[in-house]
Amino acid sequence: MTRKTDMTVVVTGASGRTGSRVARAAQAAGLTVRPATRAQGFDWADRSTWAQALRGADAAYLVHPGDVGSAAATRAVGLLAHEAVSLGVRRLVLLSARGEEQARPTEEALRESAADWTVVQAAWFMQNFSEGPLVEGLRLGGELVFPGGEVREPFIDVRDIADVVVAVLLAGDRYVGKAVDVSGPRLLTFGEAVAEIAKATGRELTYKPVPPRAYGEYLAGLGVPDEEVELLVEVFETLLDGRNSHLSDGVQRVLGREPRDFADFAAQAAAAGTWRA
Ligand SMILES: NC(=O)c1ccc[n+]([C@@H]2O[C@H](COP(=O)([O-])OP(=O)(O)OC[C@H]3O[C@@H](n4cnc5c(N)ncnc54)[C@H](OP(=O)(O)O)[C@@H]3O)[C@@H](O)[C@H]2O)c1
């Protein structure tokens, strides 16, 4: 068996929210990190680019750039996992979404590959508020417009996802063939999360809930393709109906510590100037 610190791990999405932290945590743990984004010539949409990214590695962190519940993610994850196994890269960790029924076919496609798989099913990221499409509304307009209603969600810090992924990779067979549910330590409505950010920044910030369909129309107006809009509306309508309003203990079980709290995330991102207008 590969000695822990001899492990080379391919990190897809290494310039994104989770992948960048997985790369950092893996490096800190002494693993050799091989980033795989388009800058390195790896393209999820082009199978001819996969082998060069995978060959000679021991493990891979798989994060599809589209929603994990999309048909494109199911297809690409299944095909890539098969290719990885055929190249001897058996240890695969997939980022999935907690409570998202639409993501199950993608998880199933991974399982069918005969890889030594682990699925990390994550709650909503805290970093959705600080990195990505929701930031500008808060930063420039002082408002988060989102179809989150009054539902409570246990937002997770992506640094905890990264720590879990790396710990799982270092744990030998312990998490092979398992799904690990991870959430933050506290249930918050989207309004309460925005209030935490307002407190951390000293700015007046508001949350405006909108129906999922209206939000879909807004996304379509921004040029998001129809198929993607339909999936996102379906995901918002189902995932944010209260089914996820409970905590998971995956962080505690894998890392033996409590997950990071939203207030700490908000304070650190505020100090970094994330929401400064
Ligand atoms: N947001 C949430 O709360 C949440 C919760 C649970 C699960 N998820 C799942 O998390 C995933 C997104 O993860 P993330 O937020 O870490 O990613 P992200 O921040 O959106 O970044 C996407 C990454 O994928 C890369 N990428 C984009 N297009 C690519 C392509 N065609 N080929 C290769 N690489 C490509 C990007 O790099 P380059 O552009 O540099 O190539 C970037 O590194 C989705 O599957 C989502 O369903 C999200």
Is 148 part of any domain? Answer: no
* pLDDT value for 143: 97
Mutate which of 61, 95, 153 for ligand 1? The one with the most ligand atoms within 8 Å of its CB, which is 95
Asked whether 18 and 161 are in contact (CB, 8 A), the reply is yes
Is 114 part of any domain? Answer: yes
Domain count for the chain:
1
pTM of the complete model: 0.97
Phi, psi of 155 (to 5 degrees): -50, 140
Is 91 part of any domain? Answer: yes
**Which structural domain range is residue 12 located in?**
4-123+157-183+246-259
Give dist(CA 271, CA 275) in Å, integer: 9
Give dist(CA 164, CA 174) in Å, integer: 13
Is 235 part of any domain? Answer: no
Q: Find where tokens 């246990």 sit.
A: 154
Q: In this structure, what CATH number is given to the domain that contains residue 25?
A: 3.40.50.720
CB-based contacts of 3: which residues, under 8 Å, 6+ apart?
none
Is 214 part of any domain? Answer: no
Which DSSP string corresponds to 21-76?
HHHHHHHHTTPEEEEESGGGT--TT-GGGHHHHHTT-SEEEE--SS-TTSHHHHHH
CA atoms within a 13 Å half-sphere pointing along the CA-CB vector of 14:
23
Mutate which of 10, 15, 40, 54 for ligand 1? The one with the most ligand atoms within 8 Å of its CB, which is 15
Mutate which of 68, 164, 181 for ligand 1? The one with the most ligand atoms within 8 Å of its CB, which is 68
> Ligand 1: residues within 6 Å at CB?
13-19, 37-39, 42-45, 63-65, 67-68, 95, 97, 122, 124-125, 128
Asked whether 192 and 154 are in contact (CB, 8 A), the reply is no
- Render each residue's pLDDT in the chain as its tens digit; 277 residues: 445 568 999 999 999 999 999 999 999 999 999 999 999 999 999 999 999 999 999 999 999 999 999 999 999 999 999 999 999 999 999 999 999 999 999 999 999 999 999 999 999 999 999 998 899 999 999 999 999 999 999 999 999 999 999 999 999 999 999 999 999 999 999 999 999 999 999 999 999 999 999 999 999 999 999 999 999 999 999 999 999 999 999 999 999 999 999 999 999 999 999 999 8
Quote the ligand 1 centre to 16 CA distance (angstroms): 6
* pLDDT value for 6: 87
Is 203 part of any domain? Answer: no
Is 174 part of any domain? Answer: yes
CB-based contacts of 86: which residues, under 8 Å, 6+ apart?
none
Is 77 part of any domain? Answer: yes
Closest ligand 1 atom to 131 CA: 19
